[in-house]
Amino acid sequence: MDADPVYLIVALGNPGPEYQFHRHNVGFMVGEELRRRHGLARLRSRFRGLAGEGAMAGRRVVLLLPMTFMNLSGEAAAQAVRKHRIPVERILVIHDEVELPFGDVRLKEGQGLGGHNGLRSLEQHLGSRDFWRVRVGVGRPTGAGEQSCSGLPGPAQDPKGGPLE
């Protein structure tokens, strides 16, 4: 299996229970669901984050949830890239996207970063923005009080009301 190419999936979010259900953490939520559905090993502390290895769709993957906070996530991803010698075209980043309506999902390769600090950190540490992205729509906050001073919106809400679970 060592000769098989390794793919890196980086699910972006912020660590800590206070951010667990924030819309900004949808990357962590999707990453954990992928881990569960594909039976990847339990995530353990590696690469300045939580990482697990296994197979998805017949491909060898490393799933990484950086524990560095969003704006430093490139540090964690770069460690995994160096360890596994993963080229940028085999990196998939899952992140929140305020420019998409809640629940919309889009796949994108390279191009602009849309002001996303996590993507900016990845570009800085990987030396490229040509990685693949799964953009998960969380919509824009609707009220002035919904955006905290740290730039994080409140807990993600299902359009029907109630927290996103």
Rounded to whole angstroms, how far apart are CA atoms 134 and 9? 10
The domain segmentation of the chain, as residue ranges, is 6-141
Residue 24: active-site member = yes
pLDDT of residue 140: 84
Q: Which of 20-29, 36-45, 67-76, 135-144 has the lowest mean pLDDT?
A: 135-144
The torsion of the CA quartet 133, 42, 50, 28, rounded to 10 degrees, works out to: 40
C-alpha pair distances (Å), 24 with each of 96, 102, 148: 6, 12, 12
- Token pair of 84 as six digits: 């596994």
CB 131 within 8 A of CB 94: no
pTM: 0.82
pLDDT (tens digit per residue) in 94-151: 999 888 899 899 998 877 776 677 889 999 999 998 999 999 999 887 765 443 323 4
Phi, psi of 134 (to 5 degrees): -105, 110
pLDDT of residue 165: 39
User: Looking at domain 6-141, which of 3.40.47.10, 3.30.300.20, 3.40.50.300, 3.40.50.1470 is its CATH number?
Assistant: 3.40.50.1470
Using the predicted structure, report yes or no on whether residue 163 has a pLDDT greater than 70. no
Q: Which residue among 24, 38, 84, 116 is the active-site one?
A: 24
